[in-house]
A and B are shown apart, each in its own frame.
Chain A
Amino acid sequence: MRLKVEPRRQVSKPLQYATPPLSVLGTVVAAFVLFAIMGYDPLRALYDLFVAPLGNVQGLSELALKASPLVMIGVGLAAGFRANVWNIGAEGQLMMGAIAGGGVALAFYGREGWWILPLMSLAAVAGGMAWAAVPAFLKTRFGVSEILVSLMLTYVAEQFLSYLVLGPWKDPEGMNFPQSRMFSDSALLPVLFDGTRVHAGVLVSLLVVVVAWVVMSRSILGFEIRTVGLAPAAARYAGFSQTRVVWLTLLATGGLAGLAGLFEVAGPIGQLIPKITPGYGFTAIIVAFLGRLHPLGILLAGLVMALSYIGADQAQVDMGLPNAATGLVQAMLLFFLLASDFLVRYRVRLVRPAATSEPAPAQKATA
């Protein structure tokens, strides 16, 4: 007997929407068993991981703060993924946005004015777009894989940021540590609630979700993007330009990632430092798929992902749960999601040897 994997003729729509919550449930059950085996109180650990951060203003504000860049980048990436444009260098675009916007903040250091933040935001969007324009140009002009180019440019951006904070933009009073000056007040995002770190950028990310939703589902542009991804031949026949879609999706993602980067440095960080992102650009890829490439789904997925990070800290602080154990929980979430996705699209069948055309060994024996 052997196992055979074959595609399902019809993929169930309800099941497709049910798999993300089912994966969360599967993760909870598996984590319960894991924590119990490790000798930790599983209920308390699960409470810390998934519930505790939601129970107070501080936790909720941190959740919004952490989810905001993930959602903003995820929404942009999803538009590209729908058009088969695989930008996996959002991390680098984020850094270039932070550099461009942060550069404006440093250029107007000590100055006051309402125009500084909008100018920084524009610069950040431009910076992220410029970085995404490189893979867009190379793909449309020479057919170079945007996957490789966008990824490699991430490391270039990282080195560039290091160079700036160690060299020309180093804080003159900073004891030669790799960091810029702290931004002036006019260059910092306003905080929404006193005593928290949640800033106006969070509202922008919500706006991005709504706009993306309308564009993707209600506009011709959204239709164009989806058609290019689903049926390139039909798209060509309809007169949709693939080149245009590649440029549009890459620039949109780059701009959003750049803005997300600025919101980090003009928000909780308040200066340029060598490490401004714990991998938001990469985690956003997971968020985009977890959210089924739909803006609203991505909003939810971003919140779940952020919750898992904040809950992981909570569990460490409260009960000393090792970092690796909470890392496993995040990994299991993805594992369950990918596995259930696979099972929704394919079915696994047991194939008996008798059913094959080869003569069964039993027959040979009797012959």
Chain B
Amino acid sequence: MTILIPRRTFLVGSATAAAAMTVGQEARAAGPVKAAWVYVGPVGDFGWSYQHDLGRKAVEAALGDKVKTSFVEKVAEGPDSERVIRQLAGVNDIVFTTSFGFMNPTERVAKQFPKVKFEQATGYKTGANFAEYNARFYQGRTVAGTLAGLLSKKGVAGYVGSVPIPEVVMGINAFTIAARKINPNFQTKVIWVNAWFDPGKEADAAKSLIDQGADFINQHTDSPAVVQTAEARGVMAVGEASNMQNFGPKAQVTSNMDDWGPYYIERIKAVIDGTWKSQSVWLGMKEGAVAMAPYGPAVTPEAAAAADKVKAAIIAGTLDPFAGPIKNQKGELKVAAGQTIADADLQKMDWYVEGVQA
């Protein structure tokens, strides 16, 4: 092992960016691998960013002094994110950017820092030193949809959508398909808040959906505001990214949880070993990246058994959430019986299935 001045003591100050230009070109110095995360929300959002930060902490716990981690929270998607990513690239070996809006900025910075590794969650571009990772959140939505079909008395669910990217659209579809397998008349009403983290708007959307007759609320936003609103209004809700039970002890039937820890540990180990390669992965329930929170009090034993069965079938690979026949909103057959939707088509999904009101 060659011994060099540990980069840890390198004061990030006036020299940062000037140094960044050169540090980026150097081979990795000995000492701990430096890994940084860029979050779109605050680490205290108790949802998406919080869960990524738990992943970061899992890395620290697993790899100890072989790694040094840091993060920047509440980074706006757009030009500000590129500046933050560049600052981090100057002093880190690997940078994880955890929102879709960071994709193009990350790609640009990755080209300027060929020796630094970059990984971006929920996008679609890759490069020599730029990897993509995502989770099959829709698998959890299928479980949630099963619960909704069995538990919703009105047969109407509300869905608080964040930004209409394929990942969110396919979640709405998976949820509705599963619910309609049980209740063929099931309807899902969608409201978009056009933000990942905006508790005020999220709560308003939930209220409006409940006023429109929904008694089961799902969400694809980052804060527990939806679960809190459901609790206050006495309807059921599905948490997102993290277990939000504390925010809705009666309301939360389950939560579509993410676990990024194992992936982050694996990737940073690869950097330490020098085996890191660019890739594009889509992890699911089988890998443990998507998991369901323990069922809440509103879940009947029968519903729990049905949901468990669906979960087990997805993990075993015997149930495909997008197996045909699937009709679109107009009632036209989009996927024939015996067919399914390929991953490549799912990743650019921009149409809704029958029963979605958006």
Chains A and B come from one and the same complex: yes
A→B interface (CB under 8 Å): 47-48, 51-52, 54-59, 62, 65-66, 158, 162, 166, 175-179, 182, 195, 197, 264, 267-271, 273-278, 309-310, 313-314, 316-318, 320, 322-324
User: Cα distance A176–B347 when bound, in Å?
Assistant: 8
Partner of A195, one of B12, B21, B87: B21
In the bound complex, how far is the Cα of B36 from the Cα of A162, in angstroms? Answer: 31
Return the chain B residue nearest A326 by Cβ: B74
- Which of A47, A59, A269, A273 touches B17 (beta carbons < 8 Å)? A59
For A54, list chain B residues within 8 Å (CB): 14
Known: A162-B194, A176-B166. Contact between A323 and B73, CB under 8 A?
yes
* B288 close to A (CB within 8 Å): no
CB neighbours of B16 from chain A (8 A): 52, 56, 58-59, 314, 317-318
Q: A59-B14, A323-B74 are in contact. List 19 more A-B contacts (CB 8 A).
A: A51-B13, A52-B13, A52-B14, A52-B16, A55-B15, A56-B16, A58-B21, A175-B166, A176-B169, A177-B165, A197-B83, A275-B76, A275-B78, A277-B78, A278-B80, A313-B83, A316-B73, A317-B87, A323-B72
B124 within 8 A of A: yes
Taking a contact as CB atoms under 8 Å apart, the answer to whether A310 and B348 are in contact is no
What is the distance, in angstroms, from A203's C-beta to the closest C-beta of chain B? 18
Distance between Cα atoms of A42 and B30 in the complex (Å): 30
Shortest B34–chain A CB gap in Å is 11
Query: Which residues of B come within 8 Å of A, CB atoms?
Result: 11-18, 20-21, 36, 42, 70-80, 82-84, 86-88, 91, 100-101, 104, 112, 123-124, 163-166, 169, 194, 347-350
Partner of A317, one of B11, B70, B74, B166: B70
Question: 30 pairs across A/B with beta carbons < 8 Å?
Answer: A47-B13, A51-B13, A54-B14, A56-B16, A56-B18, A59-B14, A62-B83, A65-B79, A175-B124, A176-B349, A176-B350, A177-B100, A178-B164, A197-B82, A197-B83, A267-B79, A273-B101, A275-B76, A275-B77, A276-B78, A309-B80, A313-B75, A313-B87, A317-B16, A317-B72, A318-B11, A320-B70, A322-B73, A323-B42, A323-B74
In the bound complex, what is the Cα–Cα distance between A130 and B38 (angstroms)? 37
Chain A positions within 8 Å of B72 at CB level: 313, 316-317, 323
Known A-B contacts A178-B164, A318-B13; the reply to A158 vs B83 at CB < 8 A is no
A58 to B348, CA, bound (A): 37
Q: Is the CB of A175 within 8 A of B18?
A: no
Contact of B14 among A51, A178, A270, A320 (CB under 8 A): A51
Chain A residue numbers with a CB within 8 Å of B104 are: 179, 182, 270-271
